[in-house]
A = this chain, B = another copy of it.
Amino acid sequence: MNEVINFQEKLTKFQEHWQPKVIAEMNDYQFKLVKIQGEFVWHDHPETDEVFMVLAGQMTIAFRDREVTLQAGEMFVVPKGVEHKPYAAAECHVLLIEPRGVVNTGTAGGEMTAVNDVWI
């Protein structure tokens, strides 16, 4: 049976940046915690929307034509197929929600591609 998931407790279990950790599944969707700092790569997810929810800190999501800034207590839905580049000047804690199987760098690949489906 499922257990209560406490974000702060889960966040103590890893320190590395840009490597999402799965904490829960709802149907075929996953909830992933990630710590980010610095600049990610331009990428998109052609097959799905992606939710960013900030738990602590501040992040910016750059798009080709604008950017949005998220604080703790805010969320944003990146539409499928839209190129975006996350950025955080200082460490920021984020909850990602997206279908199982989505890779962090989408179709871009490269050295920032994280091992997928790692549970904590």
Once the chains are docked, how many angstroms separate the CA of A1 from the CA of B64? 13
From B26, B70, B79, give the contact of A50 (CB < 8 A): B26
A–B pairs, 6, beta carbons within 8 Å:
A4-B75, A5-B74, A6-B73, A8-B73, A24-B51, A26-B49
Chain A residues engaging chain B, CB cutoff 8 angstroms: 1-8, 24-27, 29, 31, 48-51, 55, 66, 68-71, 73-80, 97-99
Chain B residues, CB < 8 A from A31? 51, 75
Chain B residues, CB < 8 A from A75? 4-5, 7, 24, 31
Q: Are B29 and A74 in contact (CB under 8 A)?
A: no
User: Who on chain B is nearest to A76 by CB?
Assistant: B4
Once the chains are docked, how many angstroms separate the CA of A98 from the CA of B57? 26
12 extra interface residue pairs, beta carbon distance < 8 Å, beyond A1-B79, A24-B51, A31-B51 = A1-B66, A4-B70, A4-B74, A4-B75, A5-B74, A25-B77, A26-B51, A26-B97, A26-B98, A27-B48, A27-B49, A31-B75
